[in-house]
Amino acid sequence: MPKLQYKHEKGALHIGGGRIFFPKTPLEVTEEEKDDLLSRFPDELEEVGEEKTNKRNRKNPKEEEKVDADAGTTEKS
């Protein structure tokens, strides 16, 4: 099933019927809805796949925090 999300970094798009698109939060839609929504809101919505979604939501591995369980401290790598 296709997924759409809001293109911009901030804000949201309310399309009615209780449906709101947020940045980096894909919503599953039907093929019919996808075609309709992308034609009505080409500057606000984009289709995303699993690969793009996961990349946006993952932390940068260089910035991951390491927790020292014994000391209870956190350090950035």
List the pLDDT tens digit at each of the 77 positions of the chain. Answer: 999 999 999 999 999 888 999 999 999 999 999 999 999 999 999 999 865 444 455 444 444 455 555 555 555 55
Alpha helices (runs of H) in the chain, residue ranges in sequence order:
31-40, 50-57
Residue-range domain boundaries for the chain: 3-57
Query: What gap in Å lies between CA 39 and CA 53, rounded to an integer?
Result: 21
Chain mean position to CA 25: 3
The whole-number pLDDT of residue 3 equals: 96
Residue whose C-alpha is closest to residue 16's, from 43, 39, 40: 40
The whole-number pLDDT of residue 49 equals: 86
31: Cβ contacts below 8 Å, ≥ 6 apart: 2
SS3 (DSSP) at 2: coil
The whole-number pLDDT of residue 54 equals: 46
What amino acid occupies position 52? K
